[in-house]
Amino acid sequence: MIYLYPMRLIRFEPRGSGRALIGVQKEDVAVQIELPGCADLEDVIASPEALAHCADGANSGAEFRLDSVRLLAPLTRPEKILCLGLNYESHLREVGLEAPSEPTVFSKLANTIAGPTDPILIPGAAPRRLDYEAELAVVIGRTGREIPLAEALDYVVAATVANDVTARDWQLKKPNGQWLLGKSFDTFMPIGPALVTLDELPPLDSLQLRCLVNGETRQDAGTGEMLFGVAEIVSYLSDVCTLRPGDVILTGTPAGVGMALDPRQFLAEGDTVECTIEPIGSIVNTVSARSE
C-alpha cells in the first residue's frame, strides 16, 4: 500500500479558546477535522479511511484563519520516539568520530514534546550546556515488524521538523553518559508545524534542513547527506520493535551543533531557535527559564 493523501495535518488552538482541535491546513486556513473515532492526529493517521476523507475534500469542518490560531505539537502520545545519532557525515567530522557501520539509535521520552512555537524550558538540573539539533522527523502510519527495505517507506505516512534539544553535560559528562536523560528533559523536542504526508513532499533524501539561532545560520545541509536513509532506518528498527501508527523517528542532525563550534555556543535564556525544512515549514522556539 502506498499513501496517496497529499495534505498538511495540524493540531491547533483557536486563540483564547483553550480548545485543542485537529485539522487540515489549506494555504492560510485551518479546516477542522471532526470524524467519529478521531480525537487526535494519531487516530487520523492510523485510519486509511480518515486520511482519504480528509484528503479528497470531503472534510468540511469549521474554518479558521491560520493567523487566528496557535499551532500545537501535531502528536502527543507516540508509543515510541526513536532517534538516530551520528547519521550525517558532516556531524561525524565535527565531533571527530568514524562513520558507524549500523544505525546508532537512542530514544527520547514523550514528556519532551513541545509545540512549534512553545518555549524550550531551561532545566534546573542542567542549566548550562543546552544544544540544538535540527532534524527531519518521520511518522509511522501502519503497524509493521520486520519490514523489508523495499517496503519501508510505505509505512511512513508523514514528515515533520523536530529539534532534538540536548543537555550536553548530562549526555556526555555524567558517569558513562546519559543519552536518554540528557535528551529527555521537559520540552526538549519541539515538533511541527504540520504532519506533511509524503506524497506532498519531494523525496526525503532531497530536502534542505536549516537551523538558525537568533537569526544566525548554524546548520544548513541536505538530507541526502544521511548515512542511513529513512527506508533503511525504518527497516532496521522494525527488526527490533513493532512499529505502530504515531511512532516518531528522528533521523539525525548535520554539522553546526553548538558544542562543535569554536568557540562553543550553547543556548541561553532568550535565544530563539528556528529549525526549517521546506516545504514542511519551521518550528521557532525561544529558550526560557522555568516559570514554576
Q: By CB under 5 A, name the binding residues for Mg ion.
A: 133, 164, 253
Q: Give all strands (DSSP E) within the chain, no chain letters.
A: 8-14, 21-26, 29-32, 63-65, 69-72, 81-85, 104-107, 113-114, 120-122, 130-131, 134-140, 156-163, 166-167, 189-197, 208-213, 216-222, 248-250, 272-278, 281-289
Least distance to Mg ion from the beta carbon of 195, Å? Answer: 19
Least distance to Mg ion from the beta carbon of 111, Å? Answer: 17
Inter-residue contact 50 to 44 (CB < 8 Å): yes
CB nearer to Mg ion: pick between 69 and 207 = 207
Residue nearest to Mg ion (CB): 164
Least distance to Mg ion from the beta carbon of 144, Å? Answer: 24
Least distance to Mg ion from the beta carbon of 88, Å? Answer: 10
CB nearer to Mg ion: pick between 118 and 133 = 133
Q: Determine the Cα–Cα distance for residues 256 and 263; give it in Å rounded to an integer.
A: 12
Least distance to Mg ion from the beta carbon of 251, Å? Answer: 9
CB nearer to Mg ion: pick between 158 and 257 = 257
CB nearer to Mg ion: pick between 160 and 253 = 253
CB nearer to Mg ion: pick between 118 and 164 = 164
CA angle 6, 229, 80 (to 5 degrees): 75
